Structure 1
Amino acid sequence: MPHCILEYSQNLEQEVPPVDILEAIKGACIASAIFSVEDIKLRSVPYKSFITGGQEDAFIHVTLRMLSGRTCEQKKRLSHLVLESLTKFSLKDVSFSVEVCDMDRDTYAKKVIHSE
Protein backbone atom coordinates (compact mmCIF):
# COMPACT_ATOMS: atom_id res chain seq x y z
CA MET A 1 0.00 0.00 0.00
CA PRO A 2 -0.51 2.89 -1.04
CA HIS A 3 -2.27 3.21 -4.36
CA CYS A 4 -0.91 6.43 -5.89
CA ILE A 5 -3.14 7.75 -8.65
CA LEU A 6 -1.76 10.59 -10.74
CA GLU A 7 -4.35 12.58 -12.68
CA TYR A 8 -3.02 15.28 -14.98
CA SER A 9 -3.88 17.46 -17.94
CA GLN A 10 -2.54 15.75 -21.04
CA ASN A 11 -0.86 18.93 -22.32
CA LEU A 12 1.77 18.53 -19.57
CA GLU A 13 3.19 15.46 -21.33
CA GLN A 14 5.05 17.85 -23.64
CA GLU A 15 6.97 19.23 -20.66
CA VAL A 16 7.40 16.27 -18.29
CA PRO A 17 7.01 12.56 -19.06
CA PRO A 18 4.34 11.06 -16.75
CA VAL A 19 6.76 8.33 -15.67
CA ASP A 20 9.03 11.04 -14.23
CA ILE A 21 6.14 12.37 -12.16
CA LEU A 22 5.32 8.85 -10.97
CA GLU A 23 8.96 8.38 -9.92
CA ALA A 24 8.83 11.63 -7.96
CA ILE A 25 5.67 10.48 -6.18
CA LYS A 26 7.30 7.14 -5.39
CA GLY A 27 10.34 8.95 -3.97
CA ALA A 28 8.12 11.04 -1.72
CA CYS A 29 6.30 7.93 -0.49
CA ILE A 30 9.63 6.30 0.35
CA ALA A 31 10.83 9.47 2.09
CA SER A 32 7.73 9.40 4.29
CA ALA A 33 9.03 6.18 5.89
CA ILE A 34 5.46 4.85 6.02
CA PHE A 35 5.76 2.32 3.18
CA SER A 36 8.13 -0.29 1.80
CA VAL A 37 9.12 0.37 -1.81
CA GLU A 38 7.65 -2.96 -2.95
CA ASP A 39 4.24 -1.98 -1.56
CA ILE A 40 3.90 1.27 -3.52
CA LYS A 41 1.54 1.07 -6.50
CA LEU A 42 1.53 3.90 -9.03
CA ARG A 43 -0.64 4.66 -12.05
CA SER A 44 -1.54 7.68 -14.12
CA VAL A 45 -4.62 8.97 -15.89
CA PRO A 46 -4.26 11.76 -18.49
CA TYR A 47 -7.19 14.06 -19.18
CA LYS A 48 -7.64 15.33 -22.71
CA SER A 49 -10.47 17.68 -21.72
CA PHE A 50 -10.35 19.80 -18.57
CA ILE A 51 -11.61 23.15 -17.32
CA THR A 52 -10.52 24.89 -14.14
CA GLY A 53 -12.14 28.15 -13.16
CA GLY A 54 -13.68 28.50 -16.61
CA GLN A 55 -10.35 28.03 -18.41
CA GLU A 56 -8.33 25.17 -19.80
CA ASP A 57 -5.63 25.36 -17.12
CA ALA A 58 -3.06 22.62 -16.61
CA PHE A 59 -3.27 20.54 -13.45
CA ILE A 60 -1.73 17.68 -11.53
CA HIS A 61 -3.73 15.93 -8.84
CA VAL A 62 -2.45 12.97 -6.83
CA THR A 63 -4.72 10.74 -4.79
CA LEU A 64 -2.97 8.54 -2.24
CA ARG A 65 -5.25 5.72 -1.14
CA MET A 66 -3.97 3.71 1.81
CA LEU A 67 -5.28 1.41 4.48
CA SER A 68 -6.67 3.18 7.52
CA GLY A 69 -4.67 3.41 10.71
CA ARG A 70 -2.10 6.13 9.96
CA THR A 71 -2.06 9.23 12.12
CA CYS A 72 -3.16 12.62 10.85
CA GLU A 73 0.44 13.81 11.18
CA GLN A 74 1.72 10.93 9.01
CA LYS A 75 -0.86 11.68 6.33
CA LYS A 76 -0.17 15.41 6.46
CA ARG A 77 3.59 14.84 6.11
CA LEU A 78 3.00 12.44 3.20
CA SER A 79 0.80 14.91 1.31
CA HIS A 80 3.34 17.69 1.80
CA LEU A 81 6.23 15.48 0.64
CA VAL A 82 4.32 14.53 -2.51
CA LEU A 83 3.33 18.14 -3.19
CA GLU A 84 6.94 19.25 -2.74
CA SER A 85 8.12 16.54 -5.16
CA LEU A 86 5.65 17.76 -7.81
CA THR A 87 6.66 21.40 -7.61
CA LYS A 88 10.32 20.56 -8.27
CA PHE A 89 9.53 20.12 -11.98
CA SER A 90 9.47 23.92 -12.45
CA LEU A 91 6.20 23.84 -14.36
CA LYS A 92 4.42 27.16 -14.82
CA ASP A 93 0.70 27.90 -14.83
CA VAL A 94 -0.16 24.55 -13.25
CA SER A 95 -2.44 23.75 -10.32
CA PHE A 96 -1.02 21.06 -7.99
CA SER A 97 -3.09 19.17 -5.42
CA VAL A 98 -2.65 16.08 -3.25
CA GLU A 99 -5.32 14.14 -1.39
CA VAL A 100 -4.81 11.33 1.12
CA CYS A 101 -7.74 8.91 1.43
CA ASP A 102 -8.17 6.11 3.92
CA MET A 103 -9.34 2.70 2.73
CA ASP A 104 -11.27 0.80 5.38
CA ARG A 105 -9.15 -2.16 6.57
CA ASP A 106 -12.23 -4.21 7.46
CA THR A 107 -13.73 -4.06 3.97
CA TYR A 108 -10.63 -3.94 1.74
CA ALA A 109 -10.08 -7.17 -0.20
CA LYS A 110 -7.09 -8.17 -2.30
CA LYS A 111 -5.98 -11.24 -4.19
CA VAL A 112 -2.86 -11.63 -6.34
CA ILE A 113 -2.83 -14.39 -8.94
CA HIS A 114 0.56 -15.47 -10.27
CA SER A 115 1.21 -17.45 -13.42
CA GLU A 116 2.72 -20.88 -12.87
Structure 2
Amino acid sequence: MPHIIIEYSANLEDEVAPMRLVEALHAAALETGAFPLAGLRTRAERRDHYLIADGDPGNAFIAVGVRIGEGRDAATRRRVAEVLMAVLERETAEIFRCRGLALSLDVSEIDGTASLKTNNLHQRLKARAKP
Protein backbone atom coordinates (compact mmCIF):
# COMPACT_ATOMS: atom_id res chain seq x y z
CA MET A 1 0.00 0.00 0.00
CA PRO A 2 0.03 3.37 0.30
CA HIS A 3 -3.12 5.40 0.34
CA ILE A 4 -2.43 8.90 -0.94
CA ILE A 5 -5.18 11.30 0.08
CA ILE A 6 -5.11 14.80 -1.39
CA GLU A 7 -7.28 17.38 0.34
CA TYR A 8 -7.60 20.73 -1.40
CA SER A 9 -9.51 23.95 -0.86
CA ALA A 10 -12.40 24.44 -3.27
CA ASN A 11 -11.02 27.78 -4.42
CA LEU A 12 -8.22 25.96 -6.26
CA GLU A 13 -10.35 23.94 -8.64
CA ASP A 14 -10.18 26.51 -11.45
CA GLU A 15 -6.38 26.51 -11.28
CA VAL A 16 -5.41 22.95 -10.41
CA ALA A 17 -7.08 19.97 -12.01
CA PRO A 18 -7.58 17.50 -9.16
CA MET A 19 -7.18 14.49 -11.46
CA ARG A 20 -3.86 15.87 -12.67
CA LEU A 21 -2.62 15.94 -9.06
CA VAL A 22 -3.93 12.42 -8.51
CA GLU A 23 -2.14 11.14 -11.61
CA ALA A 24 1.12 13.00 -10.92
CA LEU A 25 1.39 11.86 -7.29
CA HIS A 26 0.33 8.30 -8.12
CA ALA A 27 3.01 8.04 -10.82
CA ALA A 28 5.68 9.58 -8.59
CA ALA A 29 4.89 7.19 -5.72
CA LEU A 30 5.18 4.24 -8.08
CA GLU A 31 8.47 5.53 -9.50
CA THR A 32 10.05 5.59 -6.03
CA GLY A 33 10.07 1.79 -6.12
CA ALA A 34 8.87 1.71 -2.51
CA PHE A 35 5.36 0.44 -3.30
CA PRO A 36 3.76 -2.25 -5.45
CA LEU A 37 1.33 -1.05 -8.14
CA ALA A 38 -1.51 -3.21 -6.80
CA GLY A 39 -1.21 -1.58 -3.39
CA LEU A 40 -1.31 2.02 -4.57
CA ARG A 41 -4.51 4.06 -4.12
CA THR A 42 -4.64 7.79 -4.76
CA ARG A 43 -7.63 10.06 -4.40
CA ALA A 44 -8.52 13.73 -4.02
CA GLU A 45 -11.09 15.30 -1.74
CA ARG A 46 -12.37 18.82 -2.26
CA ARG A 47 -12.95 20.79 0.93
CA ASP A 48 -15.71 23.38 0.72
CA HIS A 49 -15.51 24.59 4.32
CA TYR A 50 -12.14 25.91 5.46
CA LEU A 51 -10.45 28.90 7.00
CA ILE A 52 -6.80 29.58 6.23
CA ALA A 53 -4.50 31.94 8.16
CA ASP A 54 -6.11 35.42 8.27
CA GLY A 55 -9.27 34.27 6.50
CA ASP A 56 -8.42 35.93 3.17
CA PRO A 57 -10.71 34.12 0.70
CA GLY A 58 -7.84 33.95 -1.79
CA ASN A 59 -5.78 31.77 0.52
CA ALA A 60 -5.73 28.11 -0.48
CA PHE A 61 -4.33 24.80 0.68
CA ILE A 62 -3.38 21.33 -0.45
CA ALA A 63 -2.69 18.77 2.24
CA VAL A 64 -1.43 15.35 1.18
CA GLY A 65 -1.55 12.45 3.59
CA VAL A 66 0.33 9.30 2.64
CA ARG A 67 -0.59 6.29 4.76
CA ILE A 68 1.78 3.36 4.28
CA GLY A 69 2.06 -0.13 5.67
CA GLU A 70 4.58 -0.90 8.38
CA GLY A 71 8.15 -1.87 7.67
CA ARG A 72 9.77 0.85 5.61
CA ASP A 73 12.72 2.54 7.26
CA ALA A 74 12.92 6.25 8.06
CA ALA A 75 15.17 6.97 5.08
CA THR A 76 12.66 5.41 2.68
CA ARG A 77 9.76 7.30 4.23
CA ARG A 78 11.72 10.56 3.98
CA ARG A 79 12.69 9.88 0.35
CA VAL A 80 9.06 9.19 -0.58
CA ALA A 81 7.96 12.39 1.18
CA GLU A 82 10.58 14.47 -0.64
CA VAL A 83 9.73 13.00 -4.06
CA LEU A 84 6.01 13.59 -3.59
CA MET A 85 6.48 17.10 -2.20
CA ALA A 86 8.64 18.01 -5.20
CA VAL A 87 5.80 16.91 -7.50
CA LEU A 88 3.25 18.88 -5.47
CA GLU A 89 5.45 21.99 -5.57
CA ARG A 90 6.01 21.62 -9.31
CA GLU A 91 2.30 21.20 -10.02
CA THR A 92 1.39 24.30 -8.00
CA ALA A 93 4.36 26.57 -8.73
CA GLU A 94 2.38 29.18 -10.68
CA ILE A 95 -0.35 29.38 -8.05
CA PHE A 96 2.28 29.68 -5.31
CA ARG A 97 3.69 32.77 -7.03
CA CYS A 98 0.28 34.46 -7.27
CA ARG A 99 -1.60 33.84 -4.01
CA GLY A 100 -1.45 32.51 -0.48
CA LEU A 101 -0.98 28.76 -0.70
CA ALA A 102 -0.21 26.29 2.08
CA LEU A 103 1.20 22.94 0.95
CA SER A 104 1.75 20.06 3.33
CA LEU A 105 2.63 16.41 2.99
CA ASP A 106 2.82 13.79 5.69
CA VAL A 107 3.89 10.15 5.40
CA SER A 108 2.67 8.00 8.26
CA GLU A 109 2.74 4.29 8.99
CA ILE A 110 -0.48 2.43 9.58
CA ASP A 111 -0.47 0.34 12.73
CA GLY A 112 -1.05 -3.15 11.38
CA THR A 113 -2.61 -4.39 14.60
CA ALA A 114 -6.12 -3.34 13.58
CA SER A 115 -5.68 -2.61 9.88
CA LEU A 116 -7.62 -5.18 7.89
CA LYS A 117 -7.60 -5.50 4.10
CA THR A 118 -9.15 -7.70 1.48
CA ASN A 119 -8.50 -7.24 -2.23
CA ASN A 120 -7.78 -9.20 -5.36
CA LEU A 121 -5.73 -6.57 -7.17
CA HIS A 122 -2.34 -8.30 -6.84
CA GLN A 123 -3.69 -11.50 -8.44
CA ARG A 124 -5.55 -9.64 -11.17
CA LEU A 125 -2.48 -7.62 -12.15
CA LYS A 126 -0.35 -10.80 -12.24
CA ALA A 127 -2.93 -12.51 -14.45
CA ARG A 128 -2.99 -9.56 -16.86
CA ALA A 129 0.81 -9.58 -17.11
CA LYS A 130 0.92 -13.21 -18.29
CA PRO A 131 1.19 -13.61 -22.09
TM > 0.5: yes
Q: Does 1:102 align with 2:109?
A: yes
The CA deviation at 1:35 is 0.8
5+ long unaligned stretches in structure 2: 121-131
Find the counterpart in structure 1 of residue 65 from structure 2: 63
The CA deviation at 1:84 is 0.4
C-alpha RMSD of matched pairs (Å): 1.7
1:80 partner amino acid: E
- Output the TM-score relative to the length of structure 1: 0.89
Find the counterpart in structure 2 of residue 53 from structure 1: 53
Q: Percent of aligned pairs with the same residue?
A: 27
Q: Does 1:112 align with 2:114?
A: no
**What do the CA deviations read for 1:33-78 (whole angstroms, capped 9, x no partner)?**
1012232101111111211223242011100001111111111111
The CA deviation at 1:112 is 3.3
State the number of aligned residues.
114
1:98 partner amino acid: L
1:13 partner amino acid: E
- Output the TM-score relative to the length of structure 2: 0.79
Larger % of helix: which?
2
SS in 2 for 1:51: coil
Find the counterpart in structure 1 of residue 18 from structure 2: 18
Alpha-carbon distance between aligned partners in 2 of 1:39 and 1:72, rounded to the nearest angstrom: 20
Alpha-carbon distance between aligned partners in 2 of 1:108 and 1:98, rounded to the nearest angstrom: 22
1:82 partner amino acid: L
Alpha-carbon distance between aligned partners in 2 of 1:78 and 1:67, rounded to the nearest angstrom: 13
1:37 partner amino acid: L
Runs of 4+ in 1 over 6 A off after TM superposition: none
The CA deviation at 1:31 is 2.2
Alpha-carbon distance between aligned partners in 1 of 2:118 and 2:27, rounded to the nearest angstrom: 26
Larger % of strand: which?
1
